[in-house]
Protein backbone atom coordinates (compact mmCIF):
# COMPACT_ATOMS: atom_id res chain seq x y z
CA UNK A 1 0.00 0.00 0.00
CA UNK A 2 2.83 2.41 0.87
CA UNK A 3 4.29 2.05 -2.69
CA UNK A 4 1.06 3.42 -4.14
CA UNK A 5 1.55 6.97 -5.47
CA UNK A 6 -1.90 7.98 -4.27
CA UNK A 7 -1.31 6.85 -0.72
CA UNK A 8 -0.99 10.02 1.36
CA UNK A 9 0.01 10.77 4.93
CA UNK A 10 -3.67 11.44 5.70
CA UNK A 11 -4.55 7.91 4.48
CA UNK A 12 -1.77 6.56 6.66
CA UNK A 13 -3.05 8.43 9.73
CA UNK A 14 -6.57 7.10 9.22
CA UNK A 15 -5.25 3.54 8.94
CA UNK A 16 -2.71 3.63 11.74
CA UNK A 17 -4.28 5.77 14.42
CA UNK A 18 -4.23 3.79 17.64
CA UNK A 19 -6.72 5.46 19.98
CA UNK A 20 -5.90 9.01 18.82
CA UNK A 21 -6.54 11.52 21.55
CA UNK A 22 -5.76 14.53 19.37
CA UNK A 23 -6.25 14.57 15.61
CA UNK A 24 -4.85 17.51 13.67
CA UNK A 25 -5.70 17.58 9.96
CA UNK A 26 -4.41 19.98 7.29
CA UNK A 27 -4.33 22.81 9.82
CA UNK A 28 -3.58 26.28 8.46
CA UNK A 29 -3.07 29.42 10.49
CA UNK A 30 -2.11 32.45 8.42
CA UNK A 31 -1.68 35.98 9.76
CA UNK A 32 -2.67 38.79 7.37
CA UNK A 33 -0.01 41.37 6.55
CA UNK A 34 -1.61 44.75 5.94
CA UNK A 35 -0.52 47.95 4.27
CA UNK A 36 -1.99 51.01 5.95
CA UNK A 37 -2.54 54.35 4.27
CA UNK A 38 -4.35 57.41 5.59
CA UNK A 39 -7.59 56.29 3.95
CA UNK A 40 -7.59 52.53 4.07
CA UNK A 41 -5.77 49.42 5.04
CA UNK A 42 -5.45 46.43 2.73
CA UNK A 43 -4.11 42.91 3.05
CA UNK A 44 -0.96 42.55 0.94
CA UNK A 45 0.05 39.05 1.97
CA UNK A 46 0.02 36.45 4.71
CA UNK A 47 2.48 35.06 7.23
CA UNK A 48 1.93 31.34 6.70
CA UNK A 49 2.81 30.44 10.27
CA UNK A 50 1.11 27.01 10.12
CA UNK A 51 0.63 25.85 6.55
CA UNK A 52 -1.18 22.51 6.37
CA UNK A 53 -0.09 20.40 9.33
CA UNK A 54 -1.45 16.94 10.15
CA UNK A 55 -0.64 14.49 12.93
CA UNK A 56 -2.14 12.36 15.69
CA UNK A 57 -1.24 12.14 19.34
CA UNK A 58 -2.40 8.84 20.88
CA UNK A 59 -3.45 8.64 24.53
CA UNK A 60 -0.54 8.58 26.94
CA UNK A 61 2.08 9.24 24.21
CA UNK A 62 4.38 12.12 23.36
CA UNK A 63 4.90 13.85 20.05
CA UNK A 64 8.07 15.97 20.00
CA UNK A 65 7.81 18.97 17.67
CA UNK A 66 11.11 20.49 16.63
CA UNK A 67 12.10 23.41 14.43
CA UNK A 68 14.06 26.64 14.31
CA UNK A 69 12.79 29.92 15.70
CA UNK A 70 9.84 31.33 13.75
CA UNK A 71 8.82 28.04 12.09
CA UNK A 72 5.35 28.17 13.67
CA UNK A 73 5.64 25.91 16.73
CA UNK A 74 3.98 28.29 19.21
CA UNK A 75 1.32 29.31 16.70
CA UNK A 76 0.46 25.64 16.24
CA UNK A 77 0.34 25.17 20.03
CA UNK A 78 -1.87 28.23 20.55
CA UNK A 79 -4.16 27.11 17.74
CA UNK A 80 -4.59 23.63 19.23
CA UNK A 81 -5.47 25.02 22.67
CA UNK A 82 -7.89 27.31 20.84
CA UNK A 83 -6.30 30.60 21.81
CA UNK A 84 -6.11 31.31 18.06
CA UNK A 85 -8.68 30.89 15.30
CA UNK A 86 -7.55 29.10 12.15
CA UNK A 87 -8.20 29.36 8.39
CA UNK A 88 -8.84 25.78 7.49
CA UNK A 89 -8.32 22.20 8.53
CA UNK A 90 -9.79 20.31 11.43
CA UNK A 91 -9.07 19.53 15.06
CA UNK A 92 -10.55 16.68 17.05
CA UNK A 93 -10.12 15.66 20.67
CA UNK A 94 -11.23 12.04 20.49
CA UNK A 95 -14.59 12.36 18.74
CA UNK A 96 -15.21 15.97 19.69
CA UNK A 97 -14.77 18.56 16.95
CA UNK A 98 -12.86 21.33 18.76
CA UNK A 99 -12.67 23.77 15.85
CA UNK A 100 -15.60 25.61 17.43
CA UNK A 101 -17.68 25.23 20.55
CA UNK A 102 -21.45 25.32 20.52
CA UNK A 103 -21.70 26.37 24.18
CA UNK A 104 -19.61 27.76 27.03
CA UNK A 105 -20.08 24.41 28.79
CA UNK A 106 -18.50 22.59 25.84
CA UNK A 107 -15.57 25.02 25.79
CA UNK A 108 -14.98 24.60 29.55
CA UNK A 109 -15.06 20.80 29.19
CA UNK A 110 -12.35 21.09 26.49
CA UNK A 111 -10.20 23.47 28.55
CA UNK A 112 -10.28 21.00 31.44
CA UNK A 113 -8.84 18.25 29.25
CA UNK A 114 -6.13 20.23 27.44
CA UNK A 115 -3.62 22.35 29.34
CA UNK A 116 -0.54 24.32 28.37
CA UNK A 117 2.86 24.96 29.95
CA UNK A 118 4.81 27.92 28.60
CA UNK A 119 8.50 28.48 27.89
CA UNK A 120 9.18 31.30 30.26
CA UNK A 121 8.61 30.27 33.88
CA UNK A 122 9.28 33.89 34.92
CA UNK A 123 6.65 35.55 32.75
CA UNK A 124 3.98 32.86 32.91
CA UNK A 125 3.26 33.11 36.66
CA UNK A 126 1.48 36.13 38.12
CA UNK A 127 4.11 37.75 40.41
CA UNK A 128 1.47 39.22 42.74
CA UNK A 129 -0.26 35.96 43.61
CA UNK A 130 0.70 33.25 46.08
CA UNK A 131 1.66 29.90 44.59
CA UNK A 132 -1.40 28.42 46.32
CA UNK A 133 -3.70 30.77 44.38
CA UNK A 134 -1.81 30.34 41.10
CA UNK A 135 -2.17 26.55 41.16
CA UNK A 136 -5.71 26.70 42.55
CA UNK A 137 -7.03 29.13 39.92
CA UNK A 138 -8.19 26.47 37.39
CA UNK A 139 -10.12 24.77 40.23
CA UNK A 140 -11.84 28.07 41.05
CA UNK A 141 -13.09 28.20 37.45
CA UNK A 142 -13.85 24.55 36.76
CA UNK A 143 -14.56 22.93 40.13
CA UNK A 144 -17.02 25.16 41.93
CA UNK A 145 -18.29 22.03 43.70
CA UNK A 146 -15.12 21.84 45.85
CA UNK A 147 -14.70 23.59 49.20
CA UNK A 148 -11.80 25.96 49.92
CA UNK A 149 -10.19 23.33 52.15
CA UNK A 150 -10.52 20.56 49.54
CA UNK A 151 -8.84 22.78 46.95
CA UNK A 152 -6.03 23.68 49.36
CA UNK A 153 -5.40 19.99 50.04
CA UNK A 154 -5.27 19.22 46.32
CA UNK A 155 -2.71 22.00 45.77
CA UNK A 156 -0.48 20.73 48.62
CA UNK A 157 -0.64 17.18 47.29
CA UNK A 158 0.26 18.34 43.81
CA UNK A 159 3.15 20.48 45.05
CA UNK A 160 4.64 17.30 46.53
CA UNK A 161 3.95 15.38 43.31
CA UNK A 162 6.04 17.88 41.32
CA UNK A 163 8.88 17.79 43.87
CA UNK A 164 8.08 20.91 45.92
CA UNK A 165 7.04 21.25 49.57
CA UNK A 166 3.76 22.20 51.26
CA UNK A 167 5.22 25.44 52.65
CA UNK A 168 5.97 26.63 49.10
CA UNK A 169 2.23 27.25 48.70
CA UNK A 170 2.50 30.46 50.73
CA UNK A 171 5.33 31.99 48.73
CA UNK A 172 5.40 34.24 45.69
CA UNK A 173 6.90 33.24 42.30
CA UNK A 174 9.96 35.52 42.68
CA UNK A 175 11.07 33.41 45.67
CA UNK A 176 11.77 30.39 43.40
CA UNK A 177 14.46 29.33 40.92
CA UNK A 178 13.61 28.89 37.22
CA UNK A 179 13.31 25.12 37.57
CA UNK A 180 11.05 25.42 40.62
CA UNK A 181 8.86 27.92 38.81
CA UNK A 182 8.50 25.51 35.92
CA UNK A 183 7.40 22.86 38.45
CA UNK A 184 4.74 25.31 39.66
CA UNK A 185 3.59 25.81 36.04
CA UNK A 186 3.41 22.03 35.61
CA UNK A 187 1.40 21.68 38.86
CA UNK A 188 -1.08 24.27 37.62
CA UNK A 189 -1.41 22.40 34.31
CA UNK A 190 -2.02 19.13 36.19
CA UNK A 191 -4.58 20.24 38.74
CA UNK A 192 -7.60 19.56 36.51
CA UNK A 193 -6.28 16.09 35.63
CA UNK A 194 -6.03 16.80 31.89
CA UNK A 195 -5.54 14.21 29.15
CA UNK A 196 -3.17 16.32 27.05
CA UNK A 197 -0.55 18.91 27.99
CA UNK A 198 1.01 21.14 25.34
CA UNK A 199 4.50 22.03 26.52
CA UNK A 200 5.86 24.98 24.54
CA UNK A 201 9.64 24.86 25.05
CA UNK A 202 9.23 24.06 28.76
CA UNK A 203 12.95 23.62 29.41
CA UNK A 204 14.54 26.05 26.93
CA UNK A 205 15.05 28.76 29.56
CA UNK A 206 16.66 26.38 32.08
CA UNK A 207 20.22 25.14 32.74
CA UNK A 208 21.08 21.72 31.33
CA UNK A 209 21.03 19.97 34.75
CA UNK A 210 17.67 21.54 35.62
CA UNK A 211 16.38 20.60 32.15
CA UNK A 212 17.13 16.95 32.91
CA UNK A 213 15.24 17.03 36.22
CA UNK A 214 12.17 18.62 34.61
CA UNK A 215 12.25 16.09 31.75
CA UNK A 216 12.42 13.24 34.29
CA UNK A 217 9.52 14.75 36.22
CA UNK A 218 7.45 15.00 33.04
CA UNK A 219 8.16 11.36 32.22
CA UNK A 220 7.18 10.24 35.74
CA UNK A 221 3.97 12.25 35.58
CA UNK A 222 3.13 10.78 32.20
CA UNK A 223 3.45 7.27 33.60
CA UNK A 224 1.53 8.11 36.75
CA UNK A 225 -1.39 9.91 35.10
CA UNK A 226 -1.41 8.49 31.55
CA UNK A 227 -0.88 11.96 30.08
CA UNK A 228 -0.28 12.72 26.42
CA UNK A 229 2.18 15.50 25.55
CA UNK A 230 2.88 17.71 22.59
CA UNK A 231 6.44 18.63 23.52
CA UNK A 232 7.85 21.59 21.60
CA UNK A 233 11.57 22.35 21.39
CA UNK A 234 14.00 23.97 18.99
CA UNK A 235 16.68 21.46 19.94
CA UNK A 236 16.39 17.88 18.72
CA UNK A 237 18.44 16.45 21.59
CA UNK A 238 15.88 17.72 24.15
CA UNK A 239 12.99 15.73 22.65
CA UNK A 240 14.96 12.54 22.02
CA UNK A 241 14.34 10.79 25.32
CA UNK A 242 10.84 12.02 26.02
CA UNK A 243 9.12 11.52 22.64
CA UNK A 244 7.53 8.45 21.09
CA UNK A 245 7.23 10.27 17.77
CA UNK A 246 9.07 13.30 16.39
CA UNK A 247 7.87 15.87 13.86
CA UNK A 248 10.39 18.23 12.25
CA UNK A 249 8.79 21.53 11.26
CA UNK A 250 10.11 24.14 8.85
CA UNK A 251 8.33 27.35 7.85
CA UNK A 252 4.88 26.14 8.81
CA UNK A 253 5.11 22.61 7.40
CA UNK A 254 6.16 19.21 8.68
CA UNK A 255 9.28 18.11 6.84
CA UNK A 256 9.68 14.70 8.47
CA UNK A 257 7.64 12.72 10.96
CA UNK A 258 8.12 9.26 12.39
CA UNK A 259 9.03 7.17 15.45
CA UNK A 260 11.76 8.91 17.48
CA UNK A 261 14.36 6.13 17.18
CA UNK A 262 13.88 5.97 13.42
CA UNK A 263 14.18 9.71 12.87
CA UNK A 264 17.28 9.97 15.07
CA UNK A 265 19.05 6.88 13.81
CA UNK A 266 18.09 7.02 10.13
CA UNK A 267 17.03 10.59 9.25
CA UNK A 268 15.62 10.99 5.75
CA UNK A 269 15.05 14.73 5.28
CA UNK A 270 18.06 16.98 4.61
CA UNK A 271 16.72 19.45 7.19
CA UNK A 272 16.61 16.74 9.88
CA UNK A 273 20.14 15.70 8.87
CA UNK A 274 21.32 19.32 9.19
CA UNK A 275 19.73 19.65 12.65
CA UNK A 276 21.24 16.34 13.78
CA UNK A 277 24.68 17.26 12.52
CA UNK A 278 24.55 20.41 14.64
CA UNK A 279 24.03 18.55 17.96
CA UNK A 280 27.31 18.55 19.89
CA UNK A 281 28.38 15.09 21.13
CA UNK A 282 30.59 15.00 24.21
CA UNK A 283 32.53 11.98 22.96
CA UNK A 284 36.07 12.36 21.55
CA UNK A 285 35.70 9.01 19.69
CA UNK A 286 32.99 10.43 17.50
CA UNK A 287 33.99 13.01 14.94
CA UNK A 288 31.16 14.79 13.26
CA UNK A 289 31.07 16.61 9.95
CA UNK A 290 28.89 19.63 10.53
CA UNK A 291 26.40 20.57 7.87
CA UNK A 292 26.12 24.29 8.30
CA UNK A 293 22.70 25.55 7.36
CA UNK A 294 23.27 28.16 4.69
CA UNK A 295 21.66 31.59 4.83
CA UNK A 296 18.72 32.67 6.94
CA UNK A 297 15.30 31.10 7.21
CA UNK A 298 13.30 32.62 4.29
CA UNK A 299 10.44 34.97 5.17
CA UNK A 300 7.19 33.11 5.86
CA UNK A 301 5.47 35.90 3.87
CA UNK A 302 7.40 35.24 0.64
CA UNK A 303 8.01 31.52 0.65
CA UNK A 304 10.40 30.28 -2.04
CA UNK A 305 8.76 28.37 -4.92
CA UNK A 306 9.08 24.60 -4.81
CA UNK A 307 10.57 23.12 -1.65
CA UNK A 308 10.62 25.72 1.10
CA UNK A 309 13.93 24.35 2.35
CA UNK A 310 15.62 24.59 -1.09
CA UNK A 311 17.58 27.85 -0.54
CA UNK A 312 19.42 26.19 2.37
CA UNK A 313 19.54 22.55 1.29
CA UNK A 314 22.87 20.80 0.63
CA UNK A 315 21.39 18.53 -2.03
CA UNK A 316 18.88 20.76 -3.85
CA UNK A 317 18.41 20.04 -7.55
CA UNK A 318 16.41 21.78 -10.30
CA UNK A 319 13.07 20.18 -9.47
CA UNK A 320 13.39 21.31 -5.85
CA UNK A 321 13.09 24.96 -6.91
CA UNK A 322 9.91 24.26 -8.91
CA UNK A 323 7.81 21.56 -7.27
CA UNK A 324 6.85 21.44 -3.63
CA UNK A 325 7.37 17.91 -2.27
CA UNK A 326 4.54 16.29 -0.29
CA UNK A 327 5.12 13.94 2.64
CA UNK A 328 5.93 10.45 1.30
CA UNK A 329 6.55 7.24 3.21
CA UNK A 330 10.28 6.57 2.90
CA UNK A 331 10.38 3.65 5.34
CA UNK A 332 7.51 2.07 7.24
CA UNK A 333 6.10 4.81 9.46
CA UNK A 334 8.66 7.46 8.43
CA UNK A 335 7.31 10.24 6.22
CA UNK A 336 9.48 12.84 4.57
CA UNK A 337 8.64 15.86 2.38
CA UNK A 338 11.63 15.64 0.03
CA UNK A 339 12.21 14.81 -3.64
CA UNK A 340 15.51 13.12 -2.76
CA UNK A 341 15.23 11.67 0.74
CA UNK A 342 18.33 10.24 2.35
CA UNK A 343 18.72 6.53 2.91
CA UNK A 344 19.47 7.15 6.56
CA UNK A 345 22.40 4.76 6.99
CA UNK A 346 24.46 6.49 4.30
CA UNK A 347 23.90 9.97 5.61
CA UNK A 348 24.77 8.97 9.16
CA UNK A 349 28.16 7.80 7.87
CA UNK A 350 28.56 11.12 6.10
CA UNK A 351 27.99 13.20 9.22
CA UNK A 352 29.98 10.79 11.38
CA UNK A 353 27.05 9.38 13.30
CA UNK A 354 27.00 5.87 11.85
CA UNK A 355 26.88 4.50 15.36
CA UNK A 356 23.71 4.93 17.36
CA UNK A 357 24.99 7.40 19.96
CA UNK A 358 22.30 6.39 22.45
CA UNK A 359 23.70 2.85 22.48
CA UNK A 360 27.30 4.09 22.59
CA UNK A 361 26.57 6.17 25.65
CA UNK A 362 24.65 3.39 27.40
CA UNK A 363 27.50 0.91 26.84
CA UNK A 364 30.05 3.33 28.27
CA UNK A 365 27.89 3.96 31.33
CA UNK A 366 27.54 0.23 31.96
CA UNK A 367 31.35 -0.25 31.89
CA UNK A 368 32.15 2.46 34.43
N1 LIG B 1 0.08 37.47 16.17
C2 LIG B 1 0.87 37.39 15.10
N3 LIG B 1 0.72 38.22 14.05
C4 LIG B 1 1.49 38.13 12.95
N5 LIG B 1 2.49 37.22 12.81
C6 LIG B 1 2.70 36.37 13.82
C7 LIG B 1 1.92 36.41 15.03
N8 LIG B 1 2.38 35.43 15.87
C9 LIG B 1 3.39 34.82 15.22
N10 LIG B 1 3.58 35.38 14.00
C11 LIG B 1 4.58 34.98 12.99
O12 LIG B 1 4.35 33.60 12.72
C13 LIG B 1 5.59 32.94 12.52
C14 LIG B 1 5.69 31.78 13.50
O15 LIG B 1 5.83 32.30 14.82
P16 LIG B 1 5.88 31.34 16.09
O17 LIG B 1 5.93 32.21 17.30
O18 LIG B 1 4.76 30.38 16.00
O19 LIG B 1 7.26 30.58 15.87
P20 LIG B 1 8.06 29.59 16.84
O21 LIG B 1 8.42 28.41 16.01
O22 LIG B 1 7.27 29.35 18.08
O23 LIG B 1 9.38 30.42 17.17
P24 LIG B 1 10.28 30.45 18.51
O25 LIG B 1 11.11 29.20 18.48
O26 LIG B 1 11.10 31.69 18.34
O27 LIG B 1 9.35 30.52 19.69
C28 LIG B 1 6.69 33.98 12.70
O29 LIG B 1 7.06 34.45 11.44
C30 LIG B 1 5.99 35.07 13.51
O31 LIG B 1 6.56 36.33 13.23
S1 LIG C 1 13.16 18.55 -1.91
FE2 LIG C 1 15.19 19.11 -2.66
S3 LIG C 1 15.62 21.07 -1.63
FE4 LIG C 1 13.93 20.13 -0.55
S5 LIG C 1 14.87 19.03 1.12
FE6 LIG C 1 14.65 17.56 -0.57
S7 LIG C 1 16.58 17.67 -1.69
FE8 LIG C 1 16.50 19.47 -0.36
MG1 LIG D 1 7.67 29.68 20.13
CB 232 within 8 A of CB 79: no
For a ligand 2 pocket test, name from 256, 273, 339 the mutation site with the most ligand atoms within 8 angstroms of its C-beta. 339
Ligand 3 midpoint to CA 212 (Å): 20
Mean predicted confidence (pLDDT) in 243-265: 95
Ligand 3 midpoint to CA 54 (Å): 19
From CA 326, how far away is CA 157, in angstroms rounded? 48
Task: Report the interhelical angle of 178-190 vs 208-225 (nearest 10°).
Answer: 20
The dihedral over CA atoms of 346, 350, 352, 358, expressed in degrees to the nearest 10, equals -30
Quick one: pLDDT at residue 289?
61
The pairing of strands 228-233 and 196-200 is: parallel
Helices (H), strands (E): how many in the chain? 12, 12
CB 250 within 8 A of CB 271: yes
The pairing of strands 62-66 and 114-117 is: unpaired
Ligand 2 midpoint to CA 320 (Å): 6
- Each residue of 327-367: pLDDT tens digit? 999 999 999 999 999 976 566 666 665 554 444 333 333 33
3-state secondary structure of 180: helix
252 lines ligand 1 (CB under 6 A): no
The pairing of strands 62-66 and 228-233 is: parallel
- Each residue of 119-144: pLDDT tens digit? 887 788 899 999 999 999 999 999 98
> In the structure, what pLDDT confidence band is assigned to residue 37 with cuts at 50, 70 and 90?
confident
The structure's pTM equals 0.90
Closest protein CA for atom 12 of ligand 1: 49
* Predicted confidence (pLDDT) at residue 153 exceeds the cutoff of 50: yes
Amino acid sequence: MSGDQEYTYLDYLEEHSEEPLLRVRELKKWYPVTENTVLFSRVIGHVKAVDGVSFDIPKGKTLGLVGESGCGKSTLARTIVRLEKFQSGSLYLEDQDISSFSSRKEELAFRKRVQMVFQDPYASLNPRRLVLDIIKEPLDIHRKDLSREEKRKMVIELLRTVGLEAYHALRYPHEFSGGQRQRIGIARALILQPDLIILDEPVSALDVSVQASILNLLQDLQEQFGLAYLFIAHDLSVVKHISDMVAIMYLGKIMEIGPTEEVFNHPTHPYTVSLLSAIPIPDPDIEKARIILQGDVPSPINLPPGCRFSPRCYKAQDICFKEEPELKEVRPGVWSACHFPEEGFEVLKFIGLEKDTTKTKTKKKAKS
